[in-house]
A and B are shown apart, each in its own frame.
Chain A
């Protein structure tokens, strides 16, 4: 099996970096020739995950976000992690339209969107330690399909 191609980056939990994070991941996964739709899905997932770290993980506290992306065959694995306050009730936050910050006009759709746009999604969180989101997504482009038949 081919060694996985991976990249990782650490950046400040600032909203200015949301665009940076999604564009960086999109550029990295471009080598799998995703469709425009798949690329939008990936960018949206990164944006949701990073925004969660900033708003919910750190809130008013300063901190860093750790992002890792791996290419394994025709799939990508993405990990987005913060060392913030953590999530108390994981079932509750996954409910559509639930938000712990209604005063910020959050739509409560972040987790639902992330779940819909990837094939596998897992959340690990320890209160007071932080939250780790893991995603797996297969890129289903004709090009990668041909590649596998050979």
Chain B
């Protein structure tokens, strides 16, 4: 699984785009990469763009929930965007859709978050 990182809004926002299959095998790597970036950039907002995720299971939910908690612990925010139908179903099943903000794409998320951080 590939994780593509971009920072924007003068370093206040980070978009991490995930490409590939997010299972238990990929989880450790994704967790490590995201945590390193969160710590290095000290961003307030992490946008997790899932448009490239071709498969996900409960291990993926665990990684996303873990990063959500990490951002919360530093008074930051994590939002997710571009969920495929199967991924959306997992979010609903686990109740994650009730605690996390979900946007249809990254542009909508960036716009919404910029409004808040203004």
Contact = CB atoms under 8 A, between A and B. Distances in A.
A8 B100 CA distance: 40
Contacts of B65: 105, 107
B62 A116 contact: no
B25 A105 contact: no
Contact of A44 (B27, B57, B63): B57
Interface string A1-43: 0000000000000011011001000000000000001001001
A44 B25 contact: no
B44 interface: no
Contacts of B55: 22, 40, 43-44, 47
A51 B59 contact: yes
A106 interface: yes
Contacts of A44: 55, 57, 86, 90
Given A44-B86, A51-B57, A107-B61, A113 B93 contact: yes
A137 B52 CA distance: 28
Interface residues of B, number: 20
A55 B24 CA distance: 9
Contacts, number: 67
A143 interface: no
A18 B94 contact: no
Interface string B1-35: 00000000000000000000101110100010000
Interface size class of A (residues with CB under 8 A): 20 to 34
B86 A40 contact: yes
A106 B59 contact: yes
Residue from B21, B25, B58, B90 with most neighbouring chain A CB atoms (10 Å): B58
Contacts of B59: 47, 51, 106-107
25 contacts: A15-B23, A15-B24, A18-B24, A19-B25, A22-B55, A40-B55, A44-B86, A47-B57, A47-B59, A51-B24, A51-B57, A51-B58, A55-B24, A96-B94, A97-B94, A105-B27, A105-B65, A105-B66, A106-B58, A106-B62, A107-B61, A109-B58, A112-B93, A113-B93, A116-B93
Given A19-B25, A107-B62, 8 more contacts: A16-B25, A37-B85, A44-B57, A44-B90, A51-B23, A51-B58, A107-B59, A109-B90
Interface of B: 21, 23-25, 27, 31, 55, 57-59, 61-63, 65-66, 85-86, 90, 93-94
Interface of A: 15-16, 18-19, 22, 37, 40, 43-44, 47-48, 51, 54-55, 96-97, 104-110, 112-113, 116
